[in-house]
A and B are shown apart, each in its own frame.
Chain A
Amino acid sequence: MEATQIQLRTRLATFLGILTAVGTSLLIAVALIFLLSKDPTRTLYYYFVGPFTSKFVFFNMIESCIPIIFSGLGIAVAFRSGVTNLGGEGQIFAGAMTAVLLGTWFSYMPGFIGTAVLLLGGLMMGALIGSASGLLRMKWNVSDLLTTYLVSSGLVHIVNYLILGPYRDPAKIRIQSVSIPDSYMLPRIATPSYLHAGLFGAILAAILVHFLMKYTHTGYHLRVTGSNRQFARYGGINIRRFYVMPLAISGGLIGLGGAVQIVGRYQSCFTDLTAGLGWAGIGVALIARRNPLGVLPAALFYVYLQSGARVAMMNSDVTYEIAAIITSVIFYLITAEVTFEFFRRRLLK
């Protein structure tokens, strides 16, 4: 087979794989809705067309994919580098709280410098948390899968304490932390929706991570070590370093996502801020097949399903459980390797 043709066919196989997976899963979703809803056409309409019916809903949907892009990128980097990061929830939460703390402690900086400091703070905090698990793995071979999760679970309680205790804003009815100055907030770009300039940051982050992984020396080491540690060591790469570094990058991206939530959307921290964004990142990274640029459409697809479910719940007889079942069926099919393998075999043999 001609060389360029192999490349072309590999891409085609991946594309057809995704297409088939999405297609089948949507068909199953439709079948489920027909089975479970009393008014299936109405439900279908709200489920799949709903998110596009109003600008407000549509732009809010776009807004909700911003943190998921960050956590998806973080997870994709970890997976590519052969480590596991299940601590997304804690990293988002701690990143967000760090931004709030920095914003309240240093409230007199010029606006854009303030924003930058807060974002950097969130990033550093996430990186620090990730590195801790990396160090444990490197020094004592403690499973990163466990420690990322455990460290994150502990952090959630610490941040909750800060919100409920010393940094609670007593003037607010809702339980939330003190707020950062207005001047540190990112501009809204599609009022009245919540969509903010953080979207550009998320897209830029995806491009940078793609560049890092694919074109840099460090990225090469991450990929080689991630794909096969024995091979990396054989080539003279110091593989011990590659527990800490990928987890630091992964945690950093996710922590940054948390800080973006503060400066872009919420201005203060509250106990439900993460709401599964860390876990969503894992699903998104899997749909994207661990490809940083793929995280963008994957996150969009994820929030489309979520927002469709939300609209359908408000306007038809779809319950939360039904929506959850549909979402998981779709996820299951898309992350399964079967369809990809099918096309790869057909096209490359």
Chain B
Amino acid sequence: MATESPVLFEMENIHKIYEGNNVYANKGVNLSVNKGEIHAIVGENGAGKTTLMKILCGLESPDEGEIRFNGKPVTIRSAHDADTLEIGMVHQHFCLFDGFNVADNVVLVQEPRKNGLFYDSAAAAMKVEELGIKYNLPVDPKAPIETLSVGEKQKVEILRILYRGSKILVLDEPTALLTEQEIKDFFVTLRQLKSLGYTIIIITHKLDEVTEISDRVTVMRNGELVDCCITAECDKQGIARMMVGKEVLLQVDKPDVTPGKTILSINELSLTVPGFSRPILKDISLSIREGEIVGMAGVSGNGLSDLENVLTGMSSRGEVSGEAMFHGKNIANAHPSEIREMGMAYVPADRLHRGTSAELQLSDNLILLEHHEMTRAGVLQGKGIVAFVKDLLHKYNIGGHHATPVSNLSGGNIQRVVLSREFSREPNLLVVSEPTWGLDIVSSEFVYQKIVEMRSSKTAILLISANLDEVLALSDKVAVIYRGEIVGVFANTDLDRESLGEYMLGLKRQSKDEIQLGIEA
């Protein structure tokens, strides 16, 4: 008998602003989830999917908005409140304790007791084994967590929320780290849980999975809900279009620059890491010329950050083959000191841990690349340093004093610190990764303006970014990376978000010849 599923819960007009960078994570989001459905939430990085779910699970508190369960308003202030409402979340990065076995991890907080006092590990193992059989999630309850594969760890995470009696399962990018086979098994489990009456919310940005597993799909963009539809009634292209949106917010004035000679030439660069079934980077070829910005676009998890690490010498994991020629030298996985000496500047995505040292004062952060020249007989030249630092603080309008610790600065100012240091050396090659992540509009515009200035002064620039607007506004040429491979190279003449989005999400790819033509153009 087909009955209409009643609405299980609704989130209405949810607002959330993260302090510190004043970015809207959620802006009036309305979400309604039916009982017993698999509901996919899709969107680009930073679209606010995870924030919304954290609010549902009591891990973040909304600034505004209401949550209703079965029509009744509820307040979810803590994970405990979520527990009472039978909501459980599996985070993208697993929260399991190494050094304990599977059963210990599953029963945590609700351990079976002996005589009401002592932990009963035998009973725990038995319960977990039963649970595993019941839900077709077989894992050895006695196995130490650190010996499990990613797929098994995920089973443990799911067992954990099932053990706690959750009826609503929130899964944040559950397939990001799984192999093909593990994904298949995982979907079988999801269908089975659904048939048992569980409600499942799955956050993802893989469209294949959305169409395969979900009943309904909600699309988010820039903290807002774009649409919610029945999966069977919409096509991948339509979803992709909604995800990337139409409007281009950014206008950056780029003067005409004729590209000069090739500075960086990447040839069939690959990266394989033990434990991963497919290469993290595969046969990447690309070249960048003087005065040219090449944008590398992709959804996170497809190899953007690995490319960043390999090119800048910050990666020590895995094996690299192929080459990245810079001034006639292969810099793939070379030591940063060599690469730096050759004149590469690098603005890392992780500006807080890599781009700056929070506990050191501004001057110590700013002289990182200059301090060799500022040393006489082993002693740093205080006067020269103060003058140099003052000059940078002034030129880049950094709010602070040379002795201010970087930890006291705002996000925008911290990025200015990184830019001023990297750009002041007049580099001939610049690698910029996610330069405006988490920054407000004013700071972002400043960053764009500075990058364009570097282009005018004939620097070859590689822009790595998951932010399409940024890639489109700045790049002369755009390469799209999907699953570690370049799937398209385009001159940035009349590109639009929609078509690029299709490449980023793996719906389309160019032929080898087309890619080759694009690289050479």
Asked if B115 is an interface residue, CB under 8 A from chain A, the answer is no
Establish whether residues B357 and A231, one from each chain, have CB atoms under 8 Å apart when the complex forms. Answer: yes
Residues on A with beta carbons closer than 8 Å to the beta carbon of B378: 216-218
B354 in complex: contacting residue of A227, A234, A237, CB < 8 Å: A234
Q: Which chain A residues border B367 with CB–CB below 8 Å?
A: 220
Assuming A7-B403, A228-B357, is B337 touching A237 (CB within 8 A)? yes
CB distance from A171 to the nearest CB of B (A): 49
B325 CB within 8 Å of chain A: no
| Interface stretch of the complex, out of B87-95, B234-242, B358-366 | B358-366
Chain B interface size band reads 35 or more
Which residues of chain A are within 8 angstroms of B404 by Cβ–Cβ distance? 3, 6-7
Per-residue CB contact flags for chain A residues 232-253 toward chain B (1 = under 8 Å, else 0) read: 1111111000000000000000
The answer to whether A228 and B364 have CB atoms under 8 Å apart is no
With an 8 A cutoff between CB atoms, is A44 at the interface?
Answer: no
**Residue numbers in B under 8 Å from A10 (CB-CB):** 403
Contacts of A233 in B (CB 8 A): 314, 336
CA distance A220 to B385 in the complex (A): 13
A contact residues around B339 at 8 Å (CB) = 236
Contact with A along B359-388 (1 / 0, CB 8 A): 110001001110110010011101000000
Taking CB atoms and an 8 Å cut-off, the chain B residues in 66-107 that contact chain A are none
User: CA A320 – CA B70 in complex, angstroms?
Assistant: 66
CA of A217 to CA of B312 in the docked complex: distance in angstroms?
24
Do B355 and A231 touch across chains, with their CB atoms under 8 A apart? yes
Which residues from 183 to 229 on chain A have a C-beta closer than 8 Å to any C-beta of chain B? 215-218, 220, 223-224, 227-228
Chain B residues with Cβ below 8 Å from A4 are: 401
Report if A324 contacts B (CB, 8 A): no
Interchain CB contact under 8 A, B354 and A231: yes
**Chain B residues within an 8 Å CB radius of A235:** 336, 340, 368-369
In the assembled complex, A230 has its CB within 8 A of some CB on chain B: yes
Instruction: Kindly identify, within residues 385 to 432 of chain B, every residue whose CB is under 8 Å from any CB belonging to chain A.
Output: 400-404, 408
Which residue of chain A has the shortest Cβ distance to B401 in the bound complex? A3
Contact assessment for A236 and B371 in the assembled complex, using a CB-CB cutoff below 8 Å: no
**How long is the Cα–Cα vector from A238 to B357 in the complex, in angstroms?**
16
- Out of A215, A231, A232, A237, name the residue touching B382 (CB < 8 Å): A215
B372: nearest chain-A partner, CB-CB: A217
Q: In the bound complex, what is the Cα–Cα distance between A217 and B370 (angstroms)?
A: 11
A227/B375 contact (C-beta < 8 A), A234-B314, A236-B337 known: no
**Is A348 at the interface (CB under 8 A from chain B)?**
yes
B372 / chain A contacts, CB cutoff of 8 Å: 217
Most chain B C-beta atoms within 10 Å of own C-beta, residue among A6, A231, A237, A238:
A231
Is A234's CB under 8 angstroms from B336's CB? yes
Measured CB to CB, the closest approach of chain A to B83, in angstroms, equals 32
Collect the chain A residues with CB atoms within 8 Å of residue B336's CB: 233-236
CB distance from A344 to the nearest CB of B (A): 9
User: CB distance A220 to B340 under 8 Å?
Assistant: no
CB distance B401 to A7 under 8 Å?
yes
Q: Which residues of B contact A216 (CB under 8 A)?
A: 378-380
Nearest-neighbour CB distance to chain B for A240, whole angstroms, equals: 10
Give the residues in chain A near B346, CB-CB below 8 Å. 234
A233 to B353, CA, bound (A): 11
Q: How far is the CA of A53 from the CA of B241 in the complex (A)?
A: 85
Contact in complex: B353, A231 (CB < 8 Å): yes
**How distant is A80 from chain B, measured CB to nearest CB, in Å?**
10
In angstroms, Cα B365 to Cα A110, docked, is: 49
Q: How far is the CA of A328 from the CA of B90 in the complex (A)?
A: 43
- Contact yes or no, A224 B337, CB < 8 A: no
Question: Using Cβ atoms and an 8 Å threshold, which residues of chain B touch A237?
Answer: 337
Separation in Å of the B30 CB from the closest CB of chain A? 36
Q: In whole Å, how far is A79's beta carbon from the nearest beta carbon of chain B?
A: 12
Residues of B within 8 A of A236 (CB): 335-341, 369
A50 to chain B, nearest CB (A): 39
In the complex with contacts A6-B404, A234-B355, A238-B335, A217-B360 CB distance below 8 A: no
Contacting residues, chain B, for A228 (C-beta < 8 A): 353, 356-360
A223: which B residues are within 8 A, CB to CB? 360, 364
- For B337, give the chain A residue with the smallest CB separation: A236
Question: Which chain A residue shows the least CB distance to B382?
Answer: A215
Most B Cβ at <10 Å: residue of A220, A234, A236, A237 = A234
Tell me the complex Cα distance, A326–B391, Å.
51
B residues within 8 A CB of A227?
357-360
Alpha-carbon distance between A236 and B379 when the two chains are bound, in angstroms: 19
Residues of B within 8 A of A220 (CB): 364, 367, 371, 380
- A230 near B353 (CB under 8 angstroms)? yes
B46 at the binding interface (Cβ < 8 Å): no
A28 and B418 alpha carbons, distance in the complex (Å): 46
Whether A230 pairs with B360 at a CB distance below 8 angstroms is no
**Chain A residues, Cβ within 8 Å of B382:** 215
Q: Whole-angstrom distance from the CB of A10 to the nearest CB of chain B?
A: 7
Contact pattern, A 298-311, Cβ under 8 Å of B = 1, otherwise 0: 00000000000000
Rounded to whole angstroms, the CA-CA distance of A340 and B220 in the bound complex is 43
Task: Write out the residue numbers on chain A whose beta carbons fall within 8 Å of the beta carbon of B340.
Answer: 235-236
Least distance between A16 CB and chain B CB atoms (Å) = 17
- Complex interface residues of chain B between 24 and 73 (CB less than 8 A to chain A): none
CB-defined contacts of B341 to chain A, threshold 8 Å: 236
* Nearest A residue to B359, CB-CB: A227
Let me know if B488 is at the binding interface, CB within 8 A: no
Q: Please state if B379 and A217 are interface contacts (CB–CB under 8 Å).
A: yes
Known A7-B401, A233-B336; judge A215-B380 contact (CB<8 A).
Answer: yes
Question: Which residues of A in the span 1-49 have a Cβ within 8 Å of any Cβ on B?
Answer: 3-4, 6-7, 10
Q: Is there contact, CB below 8 Å, between A6 and B379?
A: no
CA distance A223 to B371 in the complex (A): 13
State the Cβ distance, A241 to closest chain B Cβ, in Å: 11
How many Å lie between the Cα of A4 and that of B368 in the bound state? 23
Contact partners of B314 in chain A: CB under 8 A: 230, 233-234
Q: Of B339, B359, B372, B380, which is in contact with the most chain A CB atoms at under 10 Å from its CB?
A: B380
Q: How far is the CA of A223 from the CA of B403 in the complex (A)?
A: 15
B348 adjacent to chain A (CB < 8 Å) = yes
Hey, which chain A residues are within 8 Å of B380, CB to CB?
215-217, 220
Could you give 24 example pairs across A and B, Cβ below 8 Å?
A4-B401, A6-B401, A215-B382, A217-B372, A217-B378, A220-B367, A220-B380, A223-B364, A224-B360, A227-B358, A228-B353, A228-B356, A228-B357, A228-B358, A228-B359, A228-B360, A231-B354, A231-B368, A234-B314, A234-B346, A234-B355, A235-B340, A235-B369, A236-B341
Q: Which residues of A contact B (CB under 8 A)?
A: 3-4, 6-7, 10, 215-218, 220, 223-224, 227-228, 230-238, 348
Can you list the 6 inter-chain pairs with the closest CB atoms, starting with the nearest?
A3-B401, A236-B337, A236-B340, A228-B357, A235-B368, A231-B357
B contact set with A: CB distance below 8 Å: 312, 314, 335-341, 346, 348, 353-360, 364, 367-369, 371-372, 375, 378-380, 382, 400-404, 408
Query: Apart from A7-B401, A237-B337, what are 11 other A-B pairs with CB-CB below 8 Å?
Result: A6-B404, A216-B378, A217-B380, A224-B357, A227-B358, A227-B359, A228-B358, A231-B357, A235-B336, A236-B335, A238-B337
